[in-house]
Structure 1
Amino acid sequence: MSKFLNLKLMMFLFFCGLPITIIAQEVSGVVKDDTGALPGVSVVVKGTSTGTTTDFDGNYSISANVGDVLVFSYVGYETQENTVAGSKLNVTMQSGVALEAVVLTGNRSKPRTILDSAVPIDNIGLDEMRNTGQPTVDKMLTYKVPSFNSSTQAISDATAHFDPADLRGLGPSRTLVLVNGKRKNQSALVYINDTPGKGEVGVDLKSIPAAAIERIEVLRDGASAQYGSDAIAGVINMVLKKNVDYTSVNVKSGVTTEGDGFNFGVDLNTGLTGKNGGYLNVTAGYYEQEKTNRPGTPGSDVLFGVAADDPTWGSWLAENPDLGMTVGQPELKKLDLFFNAGIPFKNDSGEFYTFGGVTSRQGKSFALYRTPYWVSDPHNLLHEAGTEYNGFQPTFETDVLDNNLTAGVKWKLFNFDVDFSGTYGRNRIDYDVNNTLNIDLGANSPTGFDVGGYAFSNALANLDFSRSLGQVNIAFGAEIKQENFSARAGEPASYFNPTGNGGAQSFPGLQPSNAVRADRHNYGVYGDVEWEPTDALLIGGAVRYEDFSDFGDNVSWKVSGRYSLGDNRGALRASYSTGFRAPSLHQIYLSNVQTLVSGGTISNQGTFNNVDPIIREDLGVPQLSAETSKNISAGITYKIKPNFSVSADFYNVKVDDRVLFTGEIGFDGDDTTTNPVETILNDNSITSLKFFVNAVNTNTTGVDLVLNYTNINLGEGNLSATLAANFNETTIDGEIDTPELLADNGYEIFNRKEQARITSARPKSKILLGLDYDLNKWNFILNNTYFGEVTWQHANNGLNGADLGNGPLPIDDAAYDQTFAGKIITDLIVGYEFSEKISANISVNNLLNVYPDEIDTKGDFVTDLGGRFKYPWEVSQFGFNGTVLNASVAFKF
């Protein structure tokens, strides 16, 4: 009765024009699911920072006004909103969010839940990513998505600062990355060193701060028909935060148990939401890490024929058994600033939106150590006069700037949802080589050089239409894109090389002949339709036409289907699609000279671009064209019980005319005649050459498995468990398509070692087992990640087949190959919530201090560069830092 009288009094005061003050009241209730009370559920007054959690019996109490909206959320359950109408509010939550979370990626016509999707999609929230204990987005995804791989690279020039990442073992170039559904620009770097992903171009995933991300959607299916080039392996969509009305600060730090690799980071995220639905979210972050060092310690140098008891250098080797090397993660400093904003039109008729950010990153990695018997320093440039000369280790330093900006409007037109946007993105990388010299400059040589740099940018305009027509959903649209790639020459001192010593030691600068400014444009149009003739059956199709100014056009298409198993229990799904990837501008126009060391021989390797007359006319290499693909997948999702779900998906991806970066093409060893290739080498003062060419067809087959079991009552807490796995294999179909002139002269353009980068450099299996236990204010996470074996293949096998006087030796193609065994990495994260506003966690990554197998040279000293490398560096599983201890504190206000 009193509530009724209070309501009448408020109405009387309102109509009399008198001010009304609404006093917040205590709202309480019980939160449960189908099995009983739910402890630890987050309860927040929407649009404020006021919040609490339910106790062990599911009870909560919070200060709120009549008319306020309470948001109830918990891992494994669908987020629920309820309006306050009195002092009591009981809530029943629905479990199974792992299969029912709404995702945007996968089609262009209508958002769907993971259960409804006709293709496999992972939906990963920010908390899930942070609970890996990893520092950057690429490493977080490695420990959350079995088919995604990225690991730190050592002694690989700029590649050490980008860490190539790929999905389903198909290389960095074949995964499309989106931010809020808009295409993210590629990096300026081509991975040209001996690492996984060699010869490819990817997106700089380190340029997107995790603190700005609400969730990541990973589409594990070909999607060129919807999104265009690069989506052969799948799509990664970074969805930025919005509708946040509080400020959060996260401070973290860590170090390895070896005492190196210290890291420190801090990020701030804050947001505002308007009563009319407008929003602004801003993220600022800083992160730095120090180097790690895990070199080999051979104590002798077989590359240069210097024994441990050498009369001249034996004492130096005794004092420097690691040959002065620094082998590990590079030094890094990174600064991020991102935003996401939207302003609705009046009467909810549309919205203006904009988002973007800038990342500035400086890094320092290390080249091979120049021992005192390798490079002399007669002019005391890198040591003081009168002191003993101990050699030097050049540093390779990068300055990376990545920025992107999107602005657009959404509105209704003839009952169509219309989205018109423009996007600009740019990645620039500048190189410096320090603590080095140019022998040819003598006493006038600098000890630090600007050796040039690269930049890539794209500008896009998109116009998309979508509409629901009952059982049919349609979408169509168009895209125009402009791309630019440039290479900047270094300072003259960096490439000065009259006597063939290679210019600046470790990395001669880009020369004026390597400088380039290239651009191209393309346009695409697409159509997408989905038909649901019944509640159970979904049939979809898409087609896209794309035309590029530099190599022509392409048509891709896709069909998909899903059949629901009823009662939200699961679904059968399948798809078939064709796809394509345009060769990147980098792959078309890149050229440079690199210094190589092998068997004590110093050599200069030249990369010639695809438009160079030497490549096109003298060697007869054809113009680069688009890769094409055929992608088939089929799978099942099923909820065994409301909180236990499973999905399994088979896939097969065939890629034709894959663009590859050839191996070294050098002198054939016949001193009696000079073939056309050797003429080119002599004319350009290099010992070998490389180029890009469409030459390989590959076939990738795999299976993805995901099992989620959430909200298991265990003691006084709740346990959630996830088992996810990927098994895949890539093979090369048919023969390598070698240009006729090279084939006629006996050259192999893609040897066994280069083939292994496609077929065996990444694990063929990866299994993740994650356990998450909530106990009152405590949270315990135990992650076990199995990285399958990888195999390094030798380019050729030395004496195999040679005649040493007793007849030719048997040929064994695998004589020097090595398979590195699969290993399990265990991570432990312990968190504690001191209050609604302060929480902390401690993580131990690689708890058991597991390292890859050590390199077994099998008598071939080139495999580990004379013992300089202890762990594999040309194939990659999980790096070799060992155990890392981390701690973080989070504040919310």
Structure 2
Amino acid sequence: MLKNYLMFLILLIGGSNFAVSQEVSGTVTDDTSQPLPGVSVIIEGTSTGTITDFEGKFSIKSNIGDVLVFSYVGYETQKITVNSSTISVTMQSGVGLDEVILVGNRSKPRTILDSPVPVDNIGLAELRNTGQPTVDKMLTYKVPSFNSTNQAISDGTAHFDPADLRGLGPSRTLVLVNGKRKNQSALVYINDTPGKGEVGVDLKSIPAAAIERIEVLRDGASAQYGSDAIAGVINMVLKKNVEYTTVGVRSGITTEGDGFNFGADLNTSINLGPDGSYLNFTLGYYEQEKTNRAGTPGEDGLFGIAANDPTWGTWLAENPDLGMTIGQPELKIMDVFFNAGIPLNNTGAEFYSFGGLTYRTGTSFALYRAPYWVSDPFNLLHESGTTYQGFQPTFETDIRDNNFTVGFKWDLFGFKADLSGTYGRNAVDYEVNNTLNRDLGANSPTSFDVGAYSFSNTLANLDFSRNLGQIDVAFGAEVRGERFTSTAGDPASYFNPTGAGGAQSFPGLQPSNALTADRDNFGVYASLDWEPTKDLLIGGAVRYEDFSDFGDNTSWKVASRYLLGNKGAIRASYSTGFRAPSLHQIYLSNVQTLVSGGAISNQGTFNNVDPIIREGLGVPQLTAETAKNISAGITFKPVSNLSLSVDFYNVKVDNRVLFTNEIGFDDNTATTNPVEQILIDNSITSLKFFVNAVSTNTSGVDLVANYNNIQLGNGKLGATLAANFNETKIDGKIDTPALLEANNYEIFNRKEQSRIISARPQSKVLLGFDYKLSKWNFALNNTYFGEVTWQHATDTDKDQTFTGKIITDLLLGYEFSNAISASVSVNNLLDVYPDEIETGGDVVTDLGGRFRYPWEVNQFGFNGTTISASLNFKF
């Protein structure tokens, strides 16, 4: 079926009608007559554009009578009608409401002021000013409704860092690269972290050096872009043609003396011809060392070993941290990215391609196996004749993420047509080292291949758009194929005849867990924007998608905006949305054997097509989540340097896919119930599964205020205040399968519910200042992360709320010349940490004192102060 759809799309190319164009070039300067690099130049009503180089120069193919839109963060947008081949433009100081954006509208670019939905437009300089090393962390400190933090002692999750918008979970944010869908990661977050049970996009797989800007659409957009766009859309816009090669190096370390990091990147462009052809190329490298902020209890409450224990008291005194390493993982990232465009001479058509490859390795740590927990009788992990000290297994990942798009734009019967194909893949291989399998005795290796996951998608898109005076129309089709693969580990990793647990810390995936699952879907959409007057915009969109494995869905959206002259706008939207259950959530399965204090626990995750789940427990087939999203807001620009916006929103998600809590034996009954019989028949002590069972209601408000180009002494000051306040509630009753409900089982207890309603800050406020004085640049950012709450599974007295904290970041930059600049940044200047865990008598909360800071709910991590320096060259 997928092949037939592709052939159908290709046949639609015929009947092309090409327009004649010419080369238009010029220079853009600021209001002090200095060249202005990085200015966006777009032909109005199209997505064709370029940016100015470091000398403020640009070149673009355009027709006489076309309108060129010049926009840049901090300056007022200029519109110039093309009447010659040379244009000079002076940009006047302005603010963000005039910035041109591409996301949120399938027909033509708009400014933030013109958009009927809220969009953030974040340039590379703003991202760099956060002082953060990776894109996901940069966005955390630039977008109030976006959150991403390092996870510790969480297997693969420690290497992917779940990220989300508006606290709605990683699965409900769609990520685009140059407007094309980015593939999801191969990993399901199944550990006890925010986003548990969900699948996101690997945001570490896109290097900041390749990005021109990031557009964040804070509104439901399933009707325009399809599945996953419930919370919003993040569009990574890659650099195109640049005049200079830039090279950057940076390094940092925490004030505790650990977590050393180093990064280097190169970005350059190659002119492929005098017609505006370009090839932008990025190389990147980044590495970081581990940090450790383990607790130091000096006793082990998890195993009941007191500090004065006659056998182990000496070991505890010498190892008060119980041997733990808890913090950010070791990491190495290598990136290769490109972005290319080749206009066809005198036709107005363009061939384009972009993509990249990221290769990443990482090492995180499991719980330390103290000598009283796991023995080493065959001296596999210690030398004979020495005192056995236990061991800490390492969890090591080998991650590859590649994404490639090729496309062709042309004019077809007066429409702008865009045909493209995209392939994306994320794969992760796991190794567990410095460990053993007790069942193999003296023959046990100490390093294990424990399996692998991969996920890929293949897309074909055909899009059309046209301006018809007061009406802009767009329509198109998409065909997408997806594949999820699970690969078993080596036999030694899961060998477990006596129930001793396989490879300690992470038993390998078994052959019964290995599979390859495929699905495809076909979608069509249409949108229409009508501007009966220059002030009023009314828009609508509808999208139909049909999935091969669970059925179809239709989503729609209406939106409107009314301009308040040139001072602002009132806007509102209402939309329905959906998210298809990921292949990972449908087909993931494993059985893990855990040993705790001599008690063996076999925990089974069964996939949604397993007869044990579907027939034995009566769990229905997974289907799409559906959403209703309403937002309303106002933007206001009282003076040229000041802009304000406030947007209220409410998002209702029905039938959310969740990952259940452990379902085990009921110790309160003397007889064996049907659920327990399933556990006995499968030789497990508990099970988990995915199910559509929860409906949520999220309400919130986003506020943004920018005041730029304030004359202060001989320099200029910019100030930004941005905030998000949100609350998520669970609506109604949790939909428990009848057999489980009849036997009094909970499938989503209080602890699991807290991952949805309180694991992310419900308030986040950013207050930033940027001051430019001659060759100096100073940035001071304060980020308030609101409180988060951990809920105990059954006992409300053991809940804990971790108070809100303010993180202060300082950056100082200096330009030695036009070619060399440097900066020094101090992140978390005041060395702020989260509240410490108070166990309330429950050793599971901090795992017997091993964890000092919260790990199942998360605000901003716990590395403390990091000092970094960077040096940048251009030539």
Same fold (TM over 0.5): yes
State how far apart, in whole Å, the 2-side matches of 1:50 and 1:741 are: 67
Partner of 2:397: 398
Partner of 1:554: 553
State the one-letter code of the partner of 2:635.
Answer: T
Equivalent of residue 123 in structure 2, options 125, 133, 141: 125
State the one-letter code of the partner of 2:822.
Answer: A
CA contact (8 A) 1:41 1:74 kept: no
Where structure 1 has 5 or more consecutive residues not aligned to the other structure, the ranges are 1-26, 54-69, 798-813
Residue 604 of structure 1 and its aligned partner are, at CA, apart by 2.5
Equivalent of residue 864 in structure 2, options 882, 886, 889: 882
- Aligned to 2:753, what secondary structure does the other structure show? helix
Residue 97 of structure 1 and its aligned partner are, at CA, apart by 3.8
CA contact (8 A) 2:29 2:36 kept: no
Residues 648-667 of structure 1 aligned to structure 2 (within 5 Å): 648-667=646-665
State how far apart, in whole Å, the 1-side matches of 2:204 and 2:370 are: 34
| C-alpha distance 595-728 of structure 1, shift in aligned 2 (>3 A) | farther
Residue 599 of structure 1 and its aligned partner are, at CA, apart by 7.1
State how far apart, in whole Å, the 2-side matches of 1:662 and 1:71 are: 51
Partner of 1:296: 295
Residue 832 (str. 1) matches residue 844 (str. 2): no
| C-alpha distance 579-379 of structure 1, shift in aligned 2 (>3 A) | same
Partner of 1:422: 421
State how far apart, in whole Å, the 2-side matches of 1:156 and 1:144 are: 26
Equivalent of residue 208 in structure 1, options 206, 209, 215: 206
- Aligned to 1:176, what secondary structure does the other structure show? strand
- Aligned to 2:844, what secondary structure does the other structure show? coil
Larger Rg: 1
State how far apart, in whole Å, the 2-side matches of 1:408 and 1:635 are: 36
Partner of 2:777: 779
Residue 687 (str. 1) matches residue 674 (str. 2): no
Residue 77 (str. 1) matches residue 78 (str. 2): no
Partner of 1:585: 583
Residue 345 of structure 1 and its aligned partner are, at CA, apart by 1.0
Partner of 2:843: 861
State the one-letter code of the partner of 1:179.
Answer: V
Residue 354 (str. 1) matches residue 353 (str. 2): yes
Deviations 1:640-686 (A, max 9, x none): 21000000000000000000000000111146211122222222222
State how far apart, in whole Å, the 1-side matches of 2:72 and 2:771 are: 13
Please report the RMSD computed on the Cα atoms of aligned residues, expressed in angstroms. 2.3
State the one-letter code of the partner of 1:565.
Answer: L
Partner of 2:18: none
- Aligned to 1:578, what secondary structure does the other structure show? strand
Aligned residues: percent identity? 77
Equivalent of residue 174 in structure 1, options 172, 175, 188: 172
Partner of 1:604: 602
CA contact (8 A) 1:520 1:549 kept: yes
CA contact (8 A) 1:500 1:685 kept: no
State the one-letter code of the partner of 1:547.
Answer: D
State the one-letter code of the partner of 1:891.
Answer: F
State how far apart, in whole Å, the 2-side matches of 1:854 and 1:796 are: 21
State the one-letter code of the partner of 1:609.
Answer: N
Deviations 1:284-334 (A, max 9, x none): 000000000000000001111111011110000000000000000000001
Equivalent of residue 269 in structure 1, options 256, 263, 267: 267
Residue 861 of structure 1 and its aligned partner are, at CA, apart by 1.4
Partner of 2:826: 844
| C-alpha distance 408-535 of structure 1, shift in aligned 2 (>3 A) | same
Residues 729-740 of structure 1 aligned to structure 2 (within 5 Å): 729-740=727-738
Which has the higher mean CA deviation after the structures are superposed, 551-560 or 265-274? Answer: 265-274
- Aligned to 1:862, what secondary structure does the other structure show? helix
- Aligned to 1:624, what secondary structure does the other structure show? coil
Equivalent of residue 700 in structure 1, options 698, 717, 731: 698
Residue 242 of structure 1 and its aligned partner are, at CA, apart by 0.2
State the one-letter code of the partner of 2:851.
Answer: F
Aligned length: 828
State how far apart, in whole Å, the 2-side matches of 1:834 and 1:709 are: 28
State how far apart, in whole Å, the 2-side matches of 1:340 and 1:42 are: 19
Where structure 2 has 5 or more consecutive residues not aligned to the other structure, the ranges are 1-25, 42-49, 58-67
Partner of 1:308: 307
- Aligned to 2:656, what secondary structure does the other structure show? strand
CA contact (8 A) 1:138 1:150 kept: yes
| C-alpha distance 549-75 of structure 1, shift in aligned 2 (>3 A) | closer
Partner of 2:189: 191
Residues 102-501 of structure 1 aligned to structure 2 (within 5 Å): 102-273=100-271, 274-501=273-500
CA contact (8 A) 1:43 1:73 kept: no
Give TM-score, length-normalised by structure 2.
0.92
Deviations 1:711-738 (A, max 9, x none): 0011111000000000000000001000
State how far apart, in whole Å, the 2-side matches of 1:52 and 1:344 are: 22
Partner of 1:529: 528
| C-alpha distance 836-490 of structure 1, shift in aligned 2 (>3 A) | same
| C-alpha distance 737-30 of structure 1, shift in aligned 2 (>3 A) | closer
CA contact (8 A) 2:697 2:731 kept: yes
Residue 277 of structure 1 and its aligned partner are, at CA, apart by 1.6
State the one-letter code of the partner of 1:486.
Answer: T
Residues 604-753 of structure 1 aligned to structure 2 (within 5 Å): 604-670=602-668, 672-753=670-751
- Aligned to 2:168, what secondary structure does the other structure show? coil
| C-alpha distance 224-309 of structure 1, shift in aligned 2 (>3 A) | same
Residue 796 of structure 1 and its aligned partner are, at CA, apart by 1.4
Residues 499-578 of structure 1 aligned to structure 2 (within 5 Å): 499-566=498-565, 568-578=566-576
CA contact (8 A) 1:663 1:749 kept: yes
Residue 834 of structure 1 and its aligned partner are, at CA, apart by 0.3
Residue 279 of structure 1 and its aligned partner are, at CA, apart by 1.0
CA contact (8 A) 2:95 2:708 kept: no
State how far apart, in whole Å, the 2-side matches of 1:736 and 1:81 are: 54
- Aligned to 2:127, what secondary structure does the other structure show? helix
- Aligned to 1:587, what secondary structure does the other structure show? helix
| C-alpha distance 43-672 of structure 1, shift in aligned 2 (>3 A) | closer
State the one-letter code of the partner of 1:536.
Answer: D
State how far apart, in whole Å, the 2-side matches of 1:601 and 1:871 are: 27
Equivalent of residue 823 in structure 1, options 791, 799, 805: 805
- Aligned to 1:146, what secondary structure does the other structure show? coil
Residue 49 of structure 1 and its aligned partner are, at CA, apart by 6.5
